[in-house]
Amino acid sequence: MIRLEGIVVELGGVRILDGVGLEAGEAETLALLGPSGSGKSTLLRVAAGLQPPAAGRVLLDGADITRVPAHRRGVGLVFQDAVLFPHRTVGDNVGFGLRVRGDAVADRRRRVSELLELVGLAGAEQRDVGTLSGGEAQRVALARALAPSPRVLLLDEPLASLDGPLRDRLRDDLHDLFAALRLTVVHVTHDVAEAFALGRRVAVLRDGRIAQTATPDELWSRPADTWVARFLGMRNLIEDDAGLRVVRPEAVHVVPGDDAVVLAVDRRGPLTVLTVRLDGAEELEAATTTLTAPRPGDRVSVEIDPDGVVDVAADPYAEREAAHGRADDADDLPLHPR
Amino acid sequence: MDGDRAPLSGRAGRPALAAVPLAFLAVFFAWPLVAILERSLVLDGRLDLPLDVLASSSTLEVAWFTTWQAAVSTVLAVVAGLPLAWAIARFSFPGRRLAEALVLVPFVLPTVVVATAFVALLPDGIERSVWAILLAHVFFNVAVVVRLVGSYWSGLDARAWDAAATLGAGPARRFRSLTLPALAPALAAAASIVFLFCFTSFGVILILGGPRYATLETEIYNQAARAFDLRTAAALALLQLAAVALVVAVAGRLERRLGGSRSARGARAQRPGGRERAWVAVAVGGTLGLLALPPATLVERSLAVPGGHGLDHYRRLAEQTPALLVTPWHAILNSLLFATIAAGIALAVGIPAAVLAVRGAGGALDTLVMLPLGASAAMLGFGFLLAFADPPLDLRGTIWLVPIAQALVATPFVVRSLAPTLRSVDNRLREAAAVLGASPPRVRREVDLPLAARGLAVAAGLAFAIALGEFGATVFVARADWPTLPVAIFRFLGRPGAENVGQAMALCVVLMSLTAAGAIAADRVLGRGGWRS
């Protein structure tokens, strides 16, 4: 179990982390989700011992390790782009932590081959790391981090530099692996889908503060505020006398009728997302599983499932950011590129 | 343990790391300079400006000659270097890399070798004259022009050139109105470096200038080692120090003012076509051919014996000679020994300095380590004579002053060649190793050392080559019974007779082979992609 309390980090006079607390329980995967520049990687570096915090504590299985240097923490860390030792073979990379620890050669060799098999690269010991593909390198980096049996595994955007099917496959493999090994994991990502797929719980980080920590289902059904809702990809924000509400797209049903117009139709994997505008009112996104969607320009009607309407709090920092002349982060994020 | 206090590796080690270079510079650079200042400015315990020396007609004459020979040498070197710079910058052709490496060879040849080569090359009568000095300076510095201007040139946007051609401007016009102004920053940089080298040139002037021509640098030697007038020598050293500082300052201003509006879009080097082929061939072949002439003549003359060719001069290297207290063969061994020690010292001082420079903690230190480059070699040697002749550090009787002086000259090159290699090591590799349990010393051993090994080898080779050929400082401090190769060559050339000249040339060939082998090896290793961007 790893627990961070009240972590404060300032770099060059800028407060990167402002009293962040989070916890990944035994055998739990915690996804740390946030836009770039929110301080996720810095938080991970604090956990790994690579960045001393100005304030706050790091606890590993209950023991305060805030002042323990990185090389005595016994945590595993995987960087965004592998960062393998270029002058060593795959096997020597994976065995590095074991050798530093002083394991016997035979034990080392057995453990290395075990781990390479675990990450799907059995028999790659003698390969030059320069010959690895991006996905393979990331698997080796994972094996290297796992070899010394770390008490907690820290992943810093391990899939961000991969693309397409490779990325999805490694994501699934990670999920299975973490479950099988009962690992305690903190997984940093800026990708909502990745966070939901891997995290048993998700901590959303915004500008150096935790905006919300919850299970993916809770997060999706009850986002803490409008910023979180929009960051998760919810476009349907309604503000009226009753207050602020979010309508989840799957609760918006498009039915035959004549009080709305279809603006856009996007197929996203199993879902089709329709953008419709109610006559004299706002735009809404509707997600359906249907194969026979209407087409842009069609006249339709819209029914909203009350279960899908959630009251949300206003963005607590909107005023502060407006005062600082800053745009809302969520608007700039290419969460669902068109 | 170190790690218990500092969560981040390195911080705690900074003062300790800085101590080595700082102490070395304080004792062996700052102190000798202070000794020069003291000797020139203080007489009988009172401040006494050496105005009589500085304003004397002979000093003014020397200062004037120093300046104009440097200026003329610079202009000639820039003109001589431009054709090859153009060919290398604009075209790709078989052997381009080789040409680039070869043009570097004269630059790293020891000054005594170059001077001796021109003694061998030039006909009797002008072999020791202003012409010989100018030619030798051009020979040396063509490499600087080709390297600096060539690399800048290859980064220039060629489209303006093409556009001007479509507007009807001929090649000469285009060169004058487009290329030359665009090259100005690189030309200024190259010219100021060449000027500085020629201004502080020592071995070439001492050997080729004969008794008639002296620069500030050689006059320091003449006054200190021949006339034993230390006060005059110190006053001249002071003048030299001020002049070098002035040149560096002016060059810096010039460079800033011309400073690059250089386009990032470089032209891709193309195969020369049509008439260009001939011009490229002339530029490359002509330059390299002319550069090969002095060393080639030197080799030929070292083999020349009455009535043909033979190895007599080389054979006699093992025999006693009136020119030296030991056999020439001993001088070769001395040189190898001293250069090895000097390279060791230069690495011991340069590695911590480079590490600090890379960590961004050593900005001031980085500059400090470069200072010996600005101070001339003769000034360092003279400063050693003054500073280490008395207690507390009386090193006169020992052989240590030679390798220390050589190390002082070589250290800036070690730092300069090592820092980029260290900088190219991704810091996250160190972090990855740390998280896997490697302590800071272990990280240095397992990550930094193997990844910087190639850069270290290059730096060591460079330091060795520089120390091997060092003459200006060595000639002041070398013991008569422990001559180095350059010192032995100088002694032979100072004696009359074809016999002695032949011996000098044979020694030059030995020295040249050792140095050139080292330099080419270093360049090859560098060129093979030791630098990751």
Helix B180-199 to helix B57-90 angle (10° resolution) is: 140
From the list B7, B428, B443, which residue is nearest A52 (CB)? B7
> In terms of domains, do B323 and B217 share one?
no
Residue B268 lies in a domain: no
Domain boundary among B193, B227, B262: B262
In the structure encoding, which two tokens stand for residue A301, read together?
A: 């009607």
In one-letter notation, the amino acid at residue B415 is V
pLDDT attached to residue A268: 81
What interface predicted TM-score (ipTM) does this complex get?
0.82
Tell whether A79 is within 8 A of chain B (Cβ): yes
| A319 — pLDDT class (breaks 50, 70, 90) | low
Distance (Å, whole) CA A331 – CA B150: 48
CB distance A44 to A186 below 8 Å: yes
pTM above 0.90, yes or no: no
Residue of chain A whose alpha carbon sits nearest to that of B434: A71
| B258 — pLDDT class (breaks 50, 70, 90) | low
Chain B residues close to A51, C-beta within 8 Å: 8
From the list A67, A70, A101, which residue is nearest B435 (CB)? A70
Chain A closest-CA separation from residue B247 CA (Å)? 38
Determine the length of chain A. 338
| A337 — pLDDT class (breaks 50, 70, 90) | very low
From the list A51, A52, A79, which residue is nearest B432 (CB)? A79
> In terms of domains, do B228 and B362 share one?
no
Dmax of chain B from CA atoms?
77
pLDDT attached to residue B341: 94
- Geometric angle at alpha carbon B352, from B351 and B353, rounded to 5°: 90
Tell whether A143 is within 8 A of chain B (Cβ): no
A-proximal residues of B, 446-505, CB under 8 Å: 446-447, 450-451
In the structure encoding, which two tokens stand for residue A180, read together?
A: 């099988």
Tell whether A53 is within 8 A of chain B (Cβ): no
Q: Which residues contact B114 (CB under 8 A, 6 or more apart)?
A: B106, B136, B139, B140, B203, B204, B294
In one-letter notation, the amino acid at residue B166 is T
A74–B431: do the CB atoms touch at under 8 Å?
Answer: no
> In terms of domains, do B369 and B222 share one?
no
Q: What is the pLDDT of residues B84-99, one digit of tens each?
A: 988 888 888 888 888 8
B430 has pLDDT over 70: yes
Domain boundary among B262, B277, B301: B262
Q: Which residues contact A126 (CB under 8 A, 6 or more apart)?
A: A89, A90, A91
Name beta bridge partners: A270. Answer: none
> In terms of domains, do B149 and B78 share one?
yes
Average pLDDT over residues B351-370: 74
Q: Which of A83, A39, A16, A11 is nearest to A203 (CA)?
A: A39
Please list the helix, strand and coil fractions of chain A in percent, rounded to the nearest 5, in that order: 30, 35, 35
| DSSP codes, B181-247 | HHHHHHHHHHHHHHHHHHHT--HHHHHHSTTT---HHHHHHIIIIIS--HHHHHHHHHHHHHHHHHH
Tell whether A100 is within 8 A of chain B (Cβ): yes
> In terms of domains, do B258 and B316 share one?
no
| DSSP codes, B62-105 | HHHHHHHHHHHHHHHHHHHHHHHHHHHHHB--TTHHHHHHHHHH
Average pLDDT over residues B227-238: 86
B451–A86: do the CB atoms touch at under 8 Å?
Answer: yes
pLDDT attached to residue A111: 94
Chain A residues close to B439, C-beta within 8 Å: 71
pLDDT attached to residue A324: 54
pLDDT attached to residue A328: 44
Distance (Å, whole) CA B358 – CA B420: 8
B436–A75: do the CB atoms touch at under 8 Å?
Answer: no
B127 has pLDDT over 60: yes
Q: Which residues contact B339 (CB under 8 A, 6 or more apart)?
A: B403, B406, B464, B465, B467, B468
Residue B3 lies in a domain: no
Q: How many domains is chain B built from? A: 2
Residue B360 lies in a domain: yes
- Whole-number mean pLDDT of chain B? 82
| A202 — pLDDT class (breaks 50, 70, 90) | very high
CB distance A238 to A304 below 8 Å: no
A162 has pLDDT over 90: no
Q: What is the pLDDT of residues B187-202, one digit of tens each?
A: 888 888 899 889 988 9
Chain A closest-CA separation from residue B444 CA (Å)? 13
Please list the helix, strand and coil fractions of chain B in percent, rounded to the nearest 5, in that order: 75, 0, 25
Reported as type and span, the H/E element at residue B110 is none
> In terms of domains, do B370 and B482 share one?
yes
| A144 — pLDDT class (breaks 50, 70, 90) | very high
pLDDT attached to residue A56: 94
Tell whether A130 is within 8 A of chain B (Cβ): no
pLDDT attached to residue B378: 85
From the list A68, A83, A101, which residue is nearest B432 (CB)? A83
Average pLDDT over residues B151-177: 75
pLDDT attached to residue A99: 93
Residue B302 lies in a domain: no
In the structure encoding, which two tokens stand for residue B154, read together?
A: 């290859």
B contact test, residue of A45, A100, A146, A157 with most B CBs within 10 A? A100
Residue B439 lies in a domain: yes
Chain A residues close to B360, C-beta within 8 Å: none
| B525 — pLDDT class (breaks 50, 70, 90) | low
From the list A67, A77, A87, which residue is nearest B435 (CB)? A77
From the list A73, A76, A100, which residue is nearest B438 (CB)? A100
In the structure encoding, which two tokens stand for residue A310, read together?
A: 């959630």
Tell whether A231 is within 8 A of chain B (Cβ): no
Average pLDDT over residues A262-285: 85
| B520 — pLDDT class (breaks 50, 70, 90) | low
Residue B132 lies in a domain: yes
Residue B384 lies in a domain: yes
- Whole-number mean pLDDT of chain A? 87
pLDDT attached to residue A43: 94
Average pLDDT over residues A121-129: 92
B435–A76: do the CB atoms touch at under 8 Å?
Answer: yes
| B523 — pLDDT class (breaks 50, 70, 90) | low
pLDDT attached to residue A76: 92
Chain B residues close to A100, C-beta within 8 Å: 433, 436-438, 442, 446
Chain A residues close to B432, C-beta within 8 Å: 77, 79, 83, 85, 144
In the structure encoding, which two tokens stand for residue B321, read together?
A: 């000679």
pLDDT attached to residue B8: 40
A49–B439: do the CB atoms touch at under 8 Å?
Answer: no
> In terms of domains, do B258 and B328 share one?
no
Lowest mean pLDDT among A75-84, A165-174, B464-473: A165-174
Lowest mean pLDDT among A240-244, B62-66, B233-237, B527-531: B527-531
Tell whether B529 is within 8 A of chain A (Cβ): no
A-proximal residues of B, 426-445, CB under 8 Å: 426, 428-429, 431-440, 442-443
> In terms of domains, do B103 and B249 share one?
yes
From the list A49, A71, A87, which residue is nearest B451 (CB)? A87
From the list A50, A69, A148, which residue is nearest B436 (CB)? A148
A contact test, residue of B426, B428, B436 with most A CBs within 10 A? B436
| DSSP codes, B132-175 | HHHHHHHHHHHHHHHHHHHHHHHTS-THHHHHHHHTT--HHHHI
Tell whether A1 is within 8 A of chain B (Cβ): no
Residue B182 sits in which domain range? 57-262
Handedness of CA B516, B518, B519, B522 (dihedral sign): positive
A69–B7: do the CB atoms touch at under 8 Å?
Answer: yes
B338 has pLDDT over 90: yes
Domains of chain A as residue ranges with CATH:
2-221 (3.40.50.300), 233-327 (2.40.50.140)
Tell whether A71 is within 8 A of chain B (Cβ): yes
Residue B117 lies in a domain: yes
Domain boundary among B220, B242, B262: B262
DSSP structural state of residue A280: T
Chain B closest-CA separation from residue A207 CA (Å)? 24
Hey, how many other C-beta atoms are within 10 angstroms of the C-beta on B180? 12
Chain A closest-CA separation from residue B422 CA (Å)? 14
Q: Which of A154, A14, A136 is nearest to A79 (CA)?
A: A154
> In terms of domains, do B251 and B364 share one?
no
Chain B residues close to A87, C-beta within 8 Å: 450-451
pLDDT attached to residue B4: 34
Chain A residues close to B451, C-beta within 8 Å: 86-87
pLDDT attached to residue A329: 43
Chain B closest-CA separation from residue A272 CA (Å)? 42
B437–A86: do the CB atoms touch at under 8 Å?
Answer: no
* Domain CATH for B316: 1.10.3720.10
Handedness of CA A288, A294, A296, A302 (dihedral sign): negative
Distance (Å, whole) CA B57 – CA B83: 41
> In terms of domains, do B210 and B356 share one?
no
Lowest mean pLDDT among B9-18, B203-212, B496-505: B9-18
> In terms of domains, do B514 and B371 share one?
yes
B48 has pLDDT over 90: no
Name beta bridge partners: B154. Answer: none
Lowest mean pLDDT among A11-25, A178-192, B298-312, B388-402: B388-402
B265 has pLDDT over 60: no
DSSP structural state of residue B27: I
> In terms of domains, do B359 and B417 share one?
yes
B436–A72: do the CB atoms touch at under 8 Å?
Answer: no
Q: How do beta strands A75-78 and A209-214 pair?
A: unpaired
B522 has pLDDT over 70: no
A50–B434: do the CB atoms touch at under 8 Å?
Answer: yes
* Coil, strand or helix at A302: strand
Q: How far is CA B130 from CA A325, B25, B70, B363, in A?
A: 70, 36, 11, 41
